[in-house]
Amino acid sequence: MNKQKFTAVDLFAGIGGQSVGLKRAGFVIKASVEIDKNAVKGYKQNHPRTRVFDYDIREIDTENIKKLLGAKPLHLLAGCPPCQGFSSVRRLNRKQSVRDDRNNLILEYLRFVKELKPLTIMMENVPGLVNYYLFKQVVKELTELGYNPKFDILNVKDFGVPQSRKRLVLVGSLLGELDLSKMYVQKRTVRHAIGDLPKIENTDDEAHKIVANHIPRIQRMIELIPKNGGSRKDLPKEYILECHKKENVGFNDVYGRLKWENYSSTITGGCLNPSKGRFLHPEEDRCITAREAALLQTFPKNYKIPVDISKTSAALLIGNALPPRFSYYQSKNIKNHLIENLK
């Protein structure tokens, strides 16, 4: 049974972070669903054998996926439904979530569970979703369907990802008790991830050349920020931006440098812009590149990032992805459960 090929479907696949982890754990990804054209372009470059449904998930007939599976069962349905209204960035200084139509896409994940009847399920999301009434409804219905869902908020840094990033993870199984993987692996740092990369001017990697350019004043400000963990708070007064002079205004980490021997801050959709967070290189006087951001997310070094799109779009693809190494540990845990229960 150990030689059996386990099948998976990846919903809201993005550029493929979850799929990388699934494949590394031994799953064959029969289909993925993603509507964003830039993400689809990147996904197809890296996962050419997976059938990609590149339109609105609400319009997808699951019969088309059943045809791909044939008479074989679907072993795992994985998905990261967008729930942007619950992200910590969108909720800054707000008590409630932001109204966003994408918050309802979690019901599409539930529809796919009901119609495809996978043996196991895995759903990942932002921690703020845990108190959302639709999440509670989904958990209730998954319980009624027999999946006995378990969920918790985990930090990817505990799974060998060189980044502090909390995620809500839910798993369930029709085969018996399935718990989340909570194994703690050796700490990996910024240096582990990007310390051996060549300088931008010496690279042939087009993704490593995707980097922010700045007006002279901002560039000078970056040069004055102390190496290896310094921040805008260390700047001379004349270089502090007007928007940062008021107390309790703005993010503390903006224009901050990463620290070699520590985790990076959360790689977000603004990761190629130092005004969006702690995204300056530990030593060099620049923001991290698209390749460095992808490596901090634990994408393989040769993972293709579309280079014919805007820097903003590239940053969104990388920042919105599920870190592949985190996906791998959760997926491997589920595969072991399948092996044990399908003897």
Q: pLDDT tens digits for 180-206?
A: 998 778 899 999 999 999 999 999 999
Query: What percent of the chain has pLDDT above 70?
Result: 89
Q: What CATH superfamily classification does 6-185+322-341 receive?
A: Vaccinia Virus protein VP39 (3.40.50.150)
How far is it, in rounded angstroms, from Cα 243 to Cα 262? 28
141 to each of 63, 82, 135, 180, how far by Cα in Å? 22, 20, 10, 19
Crossing angle of helices 37-46 and 311-319, in 10° steps, is 70
Q: What is the mean pLDDT of residues 84-102?
A: 48
Q: Is the pLDDT of residue 94 over 70?
A: no
- Would you kindly state where each structural domain of the chain is located, as residue ranges? 6-185+322-341, 190-319
Bridge partners of 170, per DSSP, are 123, 151
More confident residue, 197 or 103: 197
Strands, E, within 222-309: which ranges?
none
Q: For 252-268, what is the mean pLDDT?
A: 93
Is the separation of the CB atoms in 224 and 235 below 8 Å?
yes
Q: Where are the beta strands (DSSP E) in the chain?
A: 6-11, 27-33, 51-53, 76-79, 120-125, 150-155, 166-173
Angstrom distance (rounded) from CA 337 to CA 122? 13
Q: Which two tokens stand for residue 269?
A: 């959709």
| Pairing status of strand 76-79 against strand 150-155 | unpaired
Give me 298's structure tokens. Answer: 């634990």
- CATH fold of the domain at 190-319: DNA Methylase; Chain A, domain 2 (3.90.120)
Residues forming a β-bridge with 19: none
Q: Name residue 114's amino acid.
A: K
Q: Residue 322: CB partners within 8 Å, gap ≥ 6?
A: 14, 17, 18, 21, 80, 124, 167
Q: Which residues are marked as active site?
A: 83
Q: Which of 79-93, 177-191, 275-289, 327-341 has the lowest mean pLDDT?
A: 79-93
The pLDDT of 292-310, averaged and rounded, is 97
Q: At 238, is the pLDDT very low, low, confident or very high (cuts 50, 70, 90)?
A: low
Q: Inter-axis angle of helices 106-116 and 133-144, to 10 degrees?
A: 10
Q: Would you give the distance in Å from CA 52 to the centre of its chain?
A: 19
The dihedral formed by the CA atoms of 243, 245, 246 and 248, expressed in degrees to the nearest 10: 90
Residue 279 and residue 302 in contact, taking contact as beta carbons nearer than 8 Å: no
Give this prediction's pTM: 0.91
